[in-house]
Structure 1
């Protein structure tokens, strides 16, 4: 297994110094974040992230993305895109850009269920959309990935398998995400890996916690979830990596540590050291 970092977790530096930092620390690769983000006074994971490539004008940035990545001696483990499967024009752009970049895979997101909508109907439409995604990805020689993510129709491995079952696993696959599953969709990872089979294409690792926010007048405790260091959250990262080994997974593990206890450089170095120790 090889280790990469999703640049959403590295908001402080521009792409070139980010790549240089990852190379100096000993990471194998990088998963570039691509989206048109909100501006912010200070860099953050989701807004003002300096290591994010804009979706607008992406085609004009491909040579620079490749130059920066190659100069650092890194591989591109994947593209962290945010285009939704319902946006066929946007999907076409992301798949084509991924192919031109020479990257192997790109995330194509799925919707959640909005008030007044039916899960079954949203799911059926997304299934049709992902059939389109699979056809185009196969033609372009790249792989489109569904991420297990809370708040979407594929919060669990079971749901993602149901969405993709019967489509070409060379063209579409699943990102199994340990941290997201703490908040919705948790299933025994060993069973989930077995269920996904050839659709297990990529892995994201982060950790999180549930924190009490107070008790209401009825004596009921309310909770919220948040992110934690790889070592400090609820999930057993060591057991998770062991499960991947037992399954025979030999792909990328991409770190997505959104904790804020440590400065970025120190946080990333510790993440890499910990993950290396588990491998």
Structure 2
């Protein structure tokens, strides 16, 4: 288990400031976001951030793009631009979203197009040695464990995976069930503890829950990143405190 942060956690900080924080927290890597820190098409910036990250002994865990499968109106950048930027960044993985609609409202034709696009970008990325990762997220086709699993089975591409994160408004038991349902495809994990984006809590108060999630995810012994994403009050002191909790969780899970 490797530990890291999504740079979107601190959109108001520059790459150097984020790297300094990550080093203070003794994490392993950074998922650089495509919205602020490394926008698609900014090749020189991507190379500079890559060099800066590695010069400080950190890894680029992934590129957090905001590409939405088959959403030709909602995507500001085409996937080839995103892929090229990920290459310059030296990212081994690209995170994307499974469309722009929830599973209850997506029609058959939209679903087919989404699957086709997933296969298309997975092929493109595979040629560059980069993997594609959906995000388990509401208002997309991965908004439930049933829909996410069905989608991954229909895509059926060895280069497509999924990030897991705890859905809101369901029980711990249901969250663990979602992990088990998606286990063959789970790569990295986004870790946070909140009732909602606007009502976040200290990670320590959810440590018992997260121990269960991580133990279930890590049963296969695969190497993956657990990436901190957003903290209470966007506060760097809270981030450092949450990072200590994350280290404690890693120690517990790896000795279980």
- Quick check: TM above 0.5? yes
Q: For residues 191 and 178 of structure 2, what CA distance do their matches in structure 1 show? A: 15
TM-aligned CA deviation for residue 247 of structure 1: 4.0
Q: Which residue of 1 aligns with 2:236?
A: 265
- Counterpart secondary structure, 1:108: strand
CA distance in 1, matches of 2:172, 2:8: 23
TM-score by length of 1: 0.77
Equivalent residues of 2:7, 2:33 under 8 A apart = yes
Alignment equivalent of 2:46, drawn from 62, 67, 82: 62
- Tell me if structure 1 keeps the 8 A contact 2:38–2:46: no
Aligned partner of 1:144 in structure 2 is 132
State the match for 1:246 in structure 2.
219
**Displacement after TM superposition at 1:250 (Å):** 3.0
Structure 2 gap segments, 5+ residues each: 251-256
What do the CA deviations read for 1:79-98 (whole angstroms, capped 9, x no partner)? 11102222596111112222
Query: Do 2:207 and 2:245's aligned partners in 1 also have CA atoms closer than 8 Å?
Result: no
Q: Deviations over 1:221-267 (max 9, x none)?
A: xxx9733322345981222122223343431100113421xx62211
Any gaps of 5 or more consecutive residues in structure 1?
A: 37-51, 211-223
Structure 2 CA distance, aligned partners of 1:102 and 1:275? Answer: 26
CA shift digits 1:160-207 (9 cap, x unpaired): 2222225333x21101112xx124798744443443344211111111
Where is the helix percentage greater, Structure 1 or Structure 2? 2
**Equivalences for 1:40-59 in 2 at 5 Å?**
52-55=37-40, 57-59=41-43
- The 8 Å contact of residues 30 and 75 in structure 1, kept in 2 or not, is answered as yes
Question: What are the equivalent positions in structure 2 for 1:121-136 lying under 5 Å apart?
Answer: 121-136=109-124
Contact 1:228 1:257 in 2 (8 A): no
Specify the alignment match of 1:83 in structure 2.
Answer: 67
SS in 2 for 1:231: helix
Higher relative contact order, chain-length normalized (CA < 8 Å, sep 6+): 2
What is the alpha-carbon distance in structure 2 between the residues aligned to residue 204 and residue 25 of structure 1? 17
Question: CA–CA distance in 1 between the matches of 2:125 and 2:119?
Answer: 10
- The residue that corresponds to 2:157 in the other structure is 168
Mapped partners of 1:132, 1:241: distance in 2: 31
Q: 1:113 to 1:193 in 2, by over 3 A?
A: closer
CA contact 1:119–1:153 (8 Å) conserved in 2: no
